[in-house]
Structure 1
Amino acid sequence: MQGLFSVQWLIGLALLVFAVVAFVMALVAREDAYRAADKQTKTFWLVILGIAVVGCFLGWLFLQVAGLIATIVFMVDVRPALQRVSGGGRRGSSSDGPYGPYNGNR
């Protein structure tokens, strides 16, 4: 039975770290990027992800599950949209390889 509790504790810790990382990413993004990406406001996401952090910290199962869903939505949908409008991410041609542009046999 002791092993089950340690696995639950590790999962809870992983959820807490994931929620904190998402909260920090939401915090450092510019406010105007949220509007440009046509997403909810920065304040909305900070409140939702803050509740997710608190829920994971306290260990409340309902808030952990809701926080996990909110964190996944932020990381999969909102964060990439913010990066696109902020000019983040990789810039380059579609013919760029891992070591620079591919020019064929020239």
Structure 2
Amino acid sequence: MNVFQIEGTIMLVAALALLAVKIFALVTSLMFTPEHYRAADKLTKPAWVAILGLGVAANLLFVGNPMNLINLAFTIAALVYLADVRPALSGLRQR
């Protein structure tokens, strides 16, 4: 196995992992109502669904290169959603 095969395998695994994170974020964003987003004082549901949906689409289009600028921007958006927005929305549901 040469170094380029190893690099290609690592990049593919990274792309699939980032795709899984973005799909998870998109699916969970669809589970809350627009009222939850307003009550949590976050960006609107259509905005988050659009951002995360475009992130999934970009990851699928650029599956060979997870480290390009577009994929990195949408990965950051998905991580922000998972770290900040989703916990705020989940906290509202438990009350």
CA radius of gyration, larger in:
1
- Normalized against structure 1, the TM-score is what? 0.79
Q: Is 2:13 the partner of 1:10?
A: yes
1:79 counterpart (77, 81, 86)? 86
Give the percent of matched residue pairs that are identical in Structure 1 and Structure 2: 36
1:7-46 correspondence runs (5 A): 7-46=10-49
Where structure 1 has 5 or more consecutive residues not aligned to the other structure, the ranges are 89-106
1:16 to partner: Cα distance: 0.4
Paired residues in the alignment total: 88
1:13 to partner: Cα distance: 0.5
- Normalized against structure 2, the TM-score is what? 0.88
Structure number with greater CO (CA < 8 Å, separation at least 6) is 2
Q: Deviations 1:74-97 (Å, cap 9, x if unpaired)?
A: 000000000111227xxxxxxxxx
2:72 counterpart (30, 54, 65)? 65
Distance in 1 (CA, whole Å) between partners of 2:71 and 2:89 is: 25
Distance in 1 (CA, whole Å) between partners of 2:15 and 2:71 is: 8
Distance in 1 (CA, whole Å) between partners of 2:33 and 2:94 is: 12
Runs of 4+ deviating beyond 2 Å: none
Where structure 2 has 5 or more consecutive residues not aligned to the other structure, the ranges are none
Distance in 2 (CA, whole Å) between partners of 1:62 and 1:26 is: 23
